[in-house]
Structure 1
Amino acid sequence: MVRVLTLSGVSVVREGNTILDSLDWTVDSDDRWVILGPNGAGKTTLLKLASASMHPSAGTVEILGEQLGRVDVFELRPRIGFASSAMARQIPNDETVEDAVLTAAYSITGRWNEEYEDVDRRRAERVLKEWRLESLRGRRFGTLSDGEQKRVQIGRSVMTDPELLLLDEPAASLDLGAREELVQLLGDYASSPEAPGMIMVTHHVEEIPRGFTHALLLAEGRIHAAGPISEVVTGERLSDAFGLPLVVSTSEDGRYAARALQL
């Protein structure tokens, strides 16, 4: 077990608005964290810090043993896998699925004249198989469904065997079938002892895959609760954070569901 992320007294202030306020949080390599909270709670900002895409206004952020502000982030970022809708917009619509995954080896989007080693091609083949993309390898990214594009994004993010994997609302906008397929794939990946430390932001407890071990509940830029997932994803905790009486249930396979009490 290795410490992959440490936040100490971290705050983020933009234009006089406090987005994150005095956060202390640690993530280990065998942790799989889900981040929940209302809109505007600071969830995506927290991922930007963890991806070395943003520096804090106060406090320290250590990622994979390196402190932001004292490390070349361009050397650090390739060690971090990050899948988000913002990243997806950087993939050219005419890029093939195979190349969209393969180019992650150079941390670029858009195949040019670069040369790839056999190890890169073997990794790409493994990713295409694991994320059910083999039949799509020759398709253009812009022709894919939302669910297919999400799988390509995640495939890119794991292509380089990252030491930390960040997922920003990976199931957002998907229909029921595509969501369940992706959640199942993520659950298989999270349950593997070879997977890196994982942090996933979501708005819906139904999207939490099996295999996730911890939960962080944000509200108004502060940590409302953090710890083992069974202790945080509860009706009481979520009701307090969202300001609405909620009931949380758990299925036999460890999946969560939430609904509001009749007002």
Structure 2
Amino acid sequence: MTSPIVSTDAVTVVRDGRSLISDVSATIEPGQHWVLLGSNGAGKSTLLGLLGAQTHPTSGIVRVLGHRLGRVDMRSLRAAIGHVNPRHPLQYPLTVREVVLTGLTNTTELVQRWTPTPRQLDRADALIAAFGVAERSDARWPNLSQGERGRVLIARALMPEPQLLLLDEPSTGLDLAAREQLLTALDQVRLENPRLASVLVTHHIEEIPASTTHAILIRGGRVLAQGPIGEVLTSARVSACFEHSIEISMHRGRWAARALAPA
């Protein structure tokens, strides 16, 4: 029997006396690709932080890669998790290749006295090529477009060959073409890595890749619905999640939303 990649059981997170998420239970299996959908402040990033072994719950149980948070070195868990954050902080103008290599050390900068192996260098170059930025391999981070940065960050997250890929609003700041390039790259990654599980956070229906299999709707820190994406992303449920009348449609695997005029 296959063990879940990550699971939460009746998880609550309270910070400064305020409940950020409440009584959240979910299970993500290998090969599943989830989207966390909700408005700003709904609790999506808080839940993603738990799944990525970045924070502890106030109550409840979180298991990541077979280990219960609170009973394991969280740093060792993070080494097996790829995290894509479009607000990736950099103090020095690293090249594309150097940024991708930092995925092995789980740092934002190159580690002193650390030298990648020839195999690691080859993997970095292969990922850079796979995401269509091979010609920019020596370009400095500040000189990249937002679209290029997004693809480089996915390559970085895949360097340690993770079992779990977390994407925190990866389309932030992208224009239409760059967004579509990013989503196409994500679909390809998922196709080529059938055991990989992933979780994408967004509040835009249009940013959900076609390869997404499951969805969670979250509002006010509570899960409104979860399960196979076709059962969760209904007009009624999405309207309840965003407290606005919204019509949901799907064409060729991609989702769209349209606000309904008042009756």
Scaled to the shorter chain, the TM-score interval is: over 0.9
SS of the residue corresponding to residue 79 of structure 2 reads: helix
What's the offset of the Cα at 1:59? 0.5
Residue 167 (structure 2) pairs with residue 167 (structure 1): yes
Gaps of 5+ in 2: none
Residue 190 of structure 1 contacts residue 210 of structure 1 at CA under 8 Å; is this kept in 2? no
- Distance in 1 (CA, whole Å) between partners of 2:215 and 2:80 is 23
- Distance in 1 (CA, whole Å) between partners of 2:248 and 2:120 is 43
Gaps of 5+ in 1: none
Paired residues, number:
260
Give the 5 Å matches for 1:1-263.
Answer: 1-86=2-87, 88-89=88-89, 91-111=90-110, 112-251=112-251, 253-263=252-262
TM-align CA RMSD: 1.2
What's the offset of the Cα at 1:16? 1.1
Residue 247 of structure 2 contacts residue 258 of structure 2 at CA under 8 Å; is this kept in 1? yes
Residue 92 of structure 1 contacts residue 142 of structure 1 at CA under 8 Å; is this kept in 2? no
Residue 5 of structure 2 aligns to which amino acid in structure 1?
V
Q: Deviations over 1:164-216 (max 9, x none)?
A: 11000011111011011111111122233435110000111111111110000
- Distance in 2 (CA, whole Å) between partners of 1:248 and 1:191 is 26
- Distance in 2 (CA, whole Å) between partners of 1:226 and 1:159 is 30
What's the offset of the Cα at 1:113? 3.2
Residue 94 of structure 1 aligns to which amino acid in structure 2?
P
TM-score by length of 1: 0.95
Residue 177 of structure 1 aligns to which amino acid in structure 2?
A
Q: Deviations over 1:134-187 (max 9, x none)?
A: 011000001111111111111111111101110000111110110111111111
SS of the residue corresponding to residue 166 of structure 1 reads: strand
What's the offset of the Cα at 1:109? 2.6
Q: Deviations over 1:80-112 (max 9, x none)?
A: 0111134x11x3441000011012222223234
Deviates more, 1:156-165 or 1:118-127: 118-127
SS of the residue corresponding to residue 155 of structure 2 reads: helix
Residue 151 of structure 2 contacts residue 185 of structure 2 at CA under 8 Å; is this kept in 1? no
Residue 51 of structure 1 contacts residue 77 of structure 1 at CA under 8 Å; is this kept in 2? yes
The alignment-based identity, stated in percent, is: 39
Residue 115 of structure 2 aligns to which amino acid in structure 1?
E
- Distance in 2 (CA, whole Å) between partners of 1:152 and 1:92 is 17
- Distance in 2 (CA, whole Å) between partners of 1:255 and 1:190 is 16
Residue 33 of structure 1 contacts residue 215 of structure 1 at CA under 8 Å; is this kept in 2? yes
- Distance in 2 (CA, whole Å) between partners of 1:47 and 1:161 is 19
Residue 169 of structure 2 contacts residue 201 of structure 2 at CA under 8 Å; is this kept in 1? yes
TM-score by length of 2: 0.95
Residue 148 of structure 1 aligns to which amino acid in structure 2?
E
- Distance in 2 (CA, whole Å) between partners of 1:151 and 1:9 is 35
